[in-house]
Each structure stands twice: as C-alpha cells, then as structure tokens.
Amino acid sequence: MASRSKSSQRWLKEHFSDPFVKKAKAEGLRSRAAYKLEELVERDRLLKPGMVVVDLGAAPGGWSQWVRQELDRLDAARPGRVIALDILEMPSLAGVEFLHGDFREDAVLSQLVGALNGQPVDLVLSDMAPNKSGVDAVDMPRAMYLSELAMDFADRHLRTGGNFLIKLFQGVGFDEYVKELRRRYDRVVIRKPEASRKRSPEVYALAQGKRAVMK
C-alpha cells in the first residue's frame, strides 16, 4: 500500500508540474490533450470552415472544445458541426452535440448515425482507450477492438477524401492495423506529439484522403 501511495504522489507531482497542464488551466481548456490535437491538426491543416467532425472518446471534452473554438475562428458564419461521444458523462460545451453511451453497443452507434442524419463526416477523431488492467495481454486486445470499431465507423460515414485521426498503442496488432489504414487512405503517418508523455506507448495515426475504393 505504501508503494502505491508513493506512486500516486509521484504522478500528482508530475501532473501538476506538467507545463501542458498549467497551460490548459491558464487558457481555460478542459484537458492538456487539446495540445496533442492542436499540434496534429495544425501541422496538416486538417480543419476547414463548415466541417462535420465526430470526436469518439471525447470526455472530458478537451478535443471537442478545441475543435469548436477553431471552427468558429475559421468562419463563424459556417460553424459546421462537432459531435462528441463517450461512455463517460461530459459537461456540456456550447456548439458541441454530446452523446452519452458505450460506442461498442449497437444502440449507441445507431444513435450517433441518427444524429448525423445522412450527413457525411469530414473528420473522424478517436482518442478512445479502454480502462487499463496493467496486463498487456488483456489491454492490447481491448484497445485494438476499439480501434477496429472506429475504423469501421470511418469506413461507413467518412466522406471520400476525408481524414481519420486515431490514438493507437504500440504492441500486438499495431502493424496490421496500420496496414489496413494504408489500404483505405492515400496517406498514413504515425506521429507522437510533444504533449504526449514520453513514457506512454500511445502514438497517433493520421490517415488522410479516404479512398472511394480500398486497395
């Protein structure tokens, strides 16, 4: 128990001394994760006025909040849509449509599809991750399953030419997943943004230019 307490204290010390945590607090952003997205999106200029963006695994709302602000900044007259979904509750954000539910359940997916009402999506974001057990043999399959569901959603609802940005964890199934992305998109790159903690196995796959027909 003592070692767990020391570990918790270490995490808290690291968290509150983190420059991205301090910056997010100062700028009124819900999460330091917004700076991961900012770096990834701005490098490739992924946002355009009037876009429809779906944010999977959105809570606490850092990504949705940043996207909403950027779309408004680009062209307030063409605000587009930001639709966020998470299994966790998320306090409301102005201009963000939030759906509360488990993306693995068909009924929740149907609710999301219903919200789109046939409107094609320009950008799918997925920061989904399972609750970790600490056992790789359990955690990696859970993470890959969520990633497969996100890719399937993009297959069905992302417009031709649209983009897909997803958090992945390096391990079993990672290479095969990236290979599948390359069949579906014109360009796929793997990035590790500065705000992503160095010890974390997370990386982000950016898939650009969804093909009309898979290779």
List, as one string, the DSSP characters of 80-122: -EEEEEESS-----TTEEEEES-TTSHHHHHHHHHHHTTPPEE
* 180 vs 73: CA distance, rounded Å: 34
Q: Where are the alpha helices (DSSP H) in the chain?
A: 2-17, 19-27, 33-44, 62-74, 106-116, 136-157, 174-184
CB under 8 Å, gap of 24 or more: what pairs does 39-47 form? Answer: 39/193, 39/194, 39/195, 40/165, 40/191, 40/193, 40/204, 40/206, 41/67, 41/70, 41/165, 43/191, 44/206, 44/208, 46/123, 46/163, 46/165, 46/206, 47/71, 47/74, 47/123
Catalytic residue among 23, 25, 167, 210: 167
86 labelled binding-site residue: yes
72 labelled binding-site residue: no
* 52 vs 48: CA distance, rounded Å: 9
139 labelled binding-site residue: no
118 labelled binding-site residue: no
Residue 167 appears among annotated catalytic residues: yes
122 labelled binding-site residue: no
| Residues that are catalytic | 167
Binding residues for S-adenosyl-L-methionine: 61, 63, 86, 102, 127
